[in-house]
Every structure is written in C-alpha cells, then in structure tokens.
Structure 1
C-alpha cells in the first residue's frame, strides 16, 4: 500500500452503479485509507445494478457541503443516472474543478467522466470511460484510450479513469498506488 490517503467518494443519492461505489469504498478502507462517502443532499445512496435494478443502499457519511478537505483523491463512481445528475450539480463540479486546480487527484469510472467534461477539466487529458461516453470525451478535448485503468498526469494533476465495473480491481489499485 502507498501512503494513507484522505479519499472522498462523491455520488448523488440515486442511480449509482452498486459495484462502482461499494467496491472502492470497502477495498480502499481495507487498504487503510480514510474514505468517506458524500452526497450533495446528505441522503444515503440508492444504488442500481446495470442502471435498472435496485440494489443496496450505501450509507452517506456526510453532506458534500459539510465535507472537510482537502482530499488526496476525489472518486466519482458511475451509473448513468448518477453521473448525469452529478454533472449538473454545481457543488460537485466545483469540487472536481478545485481538486484539479490544486493539483490533487480525481478518479472517475464508467459514465462519471461526464462530470469531468462539465467541470471543464477534460481538455488535454488522456482517459477512458464507458463506450457511450467516449465521443463526449473526444469532443471535450480529451484523448481517449481503451484501457482498464488509465492514469494521466497532464495539466499538473493526476486523473485515473476506468471503463466499467469489470475494471474495478485495476481502478482501485491505481488509486491505492498514488
């Protein structure tokens, strides 16, 4: 394990792909990192499987506006509904933009790179994401690759991206290895 990190997993309270929030939270905590889950509303996260089927409810540790940073890593789980709502949330966008501006890491999986686009931080980065998000990433100025976990340090900050839940082991390993 690399040095202990202060990590915030930022989600909306509905539509997050279950594995993409549960596995990073559980595994990064087990690796000794300080991990909190935050939502803009402070409500717990109703997850889904495959964007359709209700899955577990993930407890939220704190309302996003009450989260005390700075954070070594901001993790953005996917899920189409979650990512679409998160990219429209000014508080989420501001956190991502601030994290990048201050040279700290962001990790986004699946549809979550939409948040990077809306936050204005995708341009000049090399990244991956879910198949249907890749054209959006290119249009935002990113170079898109098809890799299980892409680490990009361009523009003075580290970005980790992955494609889907099958990539979670590599995604988590990249976060741990920062």
Structure 2
C-alpha cells in the first residue's frame, strides 16, 4: 500500500485522455496514496474522450511551484495533444527528468512516452506505448515491445509503461506496485 505517498499527475492544460487520468487517479487513492494534479498553468485542465471534450479538473499546482522532491512518484497520462504540449515546455520536461535523476518511479501510458523521449530518459530502457510512437522510441534508444504493460528496472528508477486505455487494469496494478515499493 502507498500509505500517504504523494504522486504527481502531470498534464497539459488541454488534451489529456480522461480515462488515463481518472482511472489511475482512483487507483492511487484506493491504495492510500495522495494524487496531485500538476500542470503548466493554474486553473482547470480540459480532458478528452479521444477527440471529444470530456470533464475538466482542478489543478493543484503548476510545474513552476513544485519539484520532484515533493513527490514519491510521477504519473504521465496520455492523449495525443497532452504529451505533445508538455514536451514543448522546458519546465515540464525538466520536472520529468528530475524524477529519473532522483531514482523515483514513473508511470506513462499511451502517447505519454513522447515526454520521456524529450526528457532523454528512455535510452537502454524497455518500454511500450501507443503503436505510433514505436519508431520515435526506438530512435531515442529504447527497446519497444507490444505488451499491455512493461515494468523496466534497467535504469535509475522503475519505469512502468502501457499502450492504451484498454490496458488500464494491468497498468494501474503495475503502477501501484511501483509507487508502493
């Protein structure tokens, strides 16, 4: 169990896949953890269900206000626009890299590994993702595999990756195990 561990959920102001935010969030809470929604801007973030607008969620803090030291782990939800925006934001990329530098567990699903490429933390790691990222991840030095969840310990931290919303059950369990270790 996570017993009060605080987990950062990093999302862009718009474009996060709602299920990839809300399902892992519920899993962290059910395991006794404290999820916090971190974004590049304050206010609310707009989630999507594929290409359709879904719910909005209140931001707890911005990447300018927090550091990796404030958290036990990092969760990166997907959605196509979400990681594409985050990888263009230097503070968000630095925030992600800092979790790796600190040896803290990171979980990323669907398109979220795009941000891991930008943070230059996938070289020599086994990962999975939405299939369209396969070439990008391989070009960044990762070993890409097509599995519902991959837990990689070949590096400074535990990295949990998954392909899509259909894999959330397996992803959530592996993520909770990593954050509980």
TM tier, smaller:
over 0.9
Moved more, 67-76 or 4-13: 67-76
What is the CA distance between 1:98 and its match in structure 2?
1.1
State how 1:80-159 maps to structure 2 within 5 Å. 80-159=80-159
DSSP 3-state at the match of 1:66: coil
The match for 1:32 is 32
| 1:54-112 deviation line (CA, Å, top 9, x unaligned) | 10112211122213542221111100001100111111110111110111111110000
Matches of 2:68 and 2:110 in 1, distance apart?
25
For this pair of structures, how many residues does the alignment match?
177
Structure 1 residue runs of 4+, over 2 Å off? 1-5
The match for 2:174 is 174
Q: Which structure 2 residue ranges, 5 or more long, are not aligned?
A: none
What is the CA distance between 1:114 and its match in structure 2?
0.3
Conserved in 2, the CA contact under 8 Å of 1:15 and 1:82?
yes
CA RMSD of aligned residues (A): 1.3
| Residues 68 and 99 (structure 1), Cα distance of their counterparts in 2 relative to 1, 3 Å cut | closer
Conserved in 1, the CA contact under 8 Å of 2:2 and 2:31?
no
| 1:121-144 deviation line (CA, Å, top 9, x unaligned) | 011110000010111000100001
| 1:37-65 deviation line (CA, Å, top 9, x unaligned) | 11011231101111x10101122111222
What is the CA distance between 1:175 and its match in structure 2?
1.6
What is the CA distance between 1:168 and its match in structure 2?
1.0
Matches of 2:139 and 2:176 in 1, distance apart?
30
Q: Which structure 1 residue ranges, 5 or more long, are not aligned?
A: none
| Residues 69 and 118 (structure 1), Cα distance of their counterparts in 2 relative to 1, 3 Å cut | closer
What is the CA distance between 1:9 and its match in structure 2?
0.2
